[in-house]
């Protein structure tokens, strides 16, 4: 026995209305088509489910037993399909993002607010973390995707480019460097350099030393978070370098960002996702939205 969904829907509609004409209207089919589906169901079951009369359709004992079962099955299926439709129409969903602390307190809040303005029913959860922990959160499934700089060796994740930015020098307003038309990496060596710990700074120093072998750039202080570095620069303890997406935070600290030249060095940031794992419609749409957003605000 393998009754079809159409047969079960026809039977449930008939059981609810008790009338072939009303049931056919409810299903938007002809009365003869409805009658045919009921006959097919009875042939499949090998038993009558409805006793027909000129005015009413009365359920048999077997029909009375099947009606609540078929009705619940259809309700459950329709509920599941409606839930899927809500997800695909972005009327429901959760997006979990892992992002470095600096990105999480500058670019991401405004991007999330803009996304929520278009898709208010989507729950976006931002997890701020150290740069080195972004990959871990994605691999563990704690985040649907992560945003972070290029890493060597490449992590075991799928990566798609989000943006590329050149480094900028950060110093307080009124600093001696503010009067220079341009600032370069050589200028940085004249002041205490406050840098970040980890691969981010290691790769940066390798790039600088490869271009300026005669100019050693050495950190005077290494901290975990860029917010700490910016606070120290604001207190007059030195200078630092960062990417331009940090401009809103630097402004809050009363600092100046100037592009670094000779050489111009940049960093690429990627969207990291687990290979072989499909993202939810809400997460996929957020990534597409974020790509357009960073281009619109000039982050790429």
CATH number for the domain harbouring residue 176: 3.40.190.10
CA distance 70 to 142: 39
What is the 8-class DSSP label of residue 153? S
Q: Which of 53, 88, 123 represents a domain boundary (last residue)?
A: 88
Give the total number of structural domains in the chain. Answer: 3
Is residue 276 classed as helix, strand or coil in its secondary structure?
A: coil
pTM, two decimal places = 0.71
Q: How far apart are CA 170 and CA 225, in angstroms?
A: 15
The two tokens of residue 240 are: 């630092």
Instruction: Give the mean pLDDT per block of 10 residues along the chain (300 residues).
Output: 89 92 91 93 92 83 92 86 73 88 91 93 91 90 92 85 93 94 89 84 73 71 89 95 91 93 88 91 92 78
Residues 173 and 258 in one domain: yes
Chosen domain end from 46, 65, 88 = 88
| CATH code of the domain containing 65 | 1.10.10.10
Under 8 Å between Cβ of 237 and 194: yes
State the Cα–Cα distance between residues 274 and 299, nearest whole angstrom. Answer: 25
| One-character DSSP codes across 27-65 | HTS-HHHHHHHHHHHHHHHTS--EEE-SS-EEE-HHHHH
Q: What's the confidence (pLDDT) of residue 289?
A: 94
Same domain, 154 and 195: no
In the DSSP assignment, the letter for residue 126 is E
Nearest Cα to Cα of residue 285 among 101, 116, 84, 129: 116
Report the distance separating Cα 256 and Cα 53, nearest Å: 87
d(CA 291, CA 288): 5
d(CA 140, CA 192): 38
**Element containing residue 251 per DSSP (H, E):** helix 247-252
Its domain, for residue 182, covers: 168-264
Tokens of 20: 């072939």
């Amino acid at each position: 026995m393998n009754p079809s969904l159409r047969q079960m829907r026809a039977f449930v509609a008939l059981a609810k209305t008790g009338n072939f004409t009303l049931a056919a209207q409810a299903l938007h089919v002809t009365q003869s088509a409805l009658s045919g589906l009921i006959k097919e169901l009875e042939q499949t079951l090998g038993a009558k489910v409805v006793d027909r009369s000129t005015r009413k359709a009365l359920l048999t004992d077997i029909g009375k037993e099947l009606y609540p079962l078929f009705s619940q099955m259809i309700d459950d299926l329709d509920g599941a399909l409606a839930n899927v439709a809500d997800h695909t129409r972005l009327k429901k969903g959760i997006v979990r993002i892992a992002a470095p602390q600096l990105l999480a307190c500058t670019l991401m809040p405004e991007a999330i607010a803009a996304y929520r303005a278009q898709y208010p029913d989507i729950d976006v959860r931002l997890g701020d973390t150290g740069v080195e922990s972004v990959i871990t959160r994605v691999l563990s499934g704690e985040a649907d995707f992560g945003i972070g700089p290029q890493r060597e060796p490449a992590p075991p994740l799928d990566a798609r480019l989000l943006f590329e930015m050149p480094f900028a020098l950060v110093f307080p307003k009124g600093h001696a460097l503010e009067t220079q038309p341009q600032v370069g990496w050589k200028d940085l060596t004249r002041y205490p350099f406050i840098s970040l710990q980890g691969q981010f700074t290691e790769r940066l120093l390798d790039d600088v030393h490869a271009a300026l072998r005669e100019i050693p750039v050495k950190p005077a202080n290494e901290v975990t978070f860029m917010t700490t570095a910016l606070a120290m620069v604001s207190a007059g303890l030195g200078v630092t370098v960062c990417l331009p997406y940090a401009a809103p935070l630097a402004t809050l600290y009363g600092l100046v960002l100037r592009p670094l030249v000779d050489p111009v060095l940049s960093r690429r940031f990627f969207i990291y996702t687990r290979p072989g794992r499909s993202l939810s419609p809400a997460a996929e749409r957020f990534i597409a939205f974020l790509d357009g957003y960073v281009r619109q605000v000039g982050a790429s």
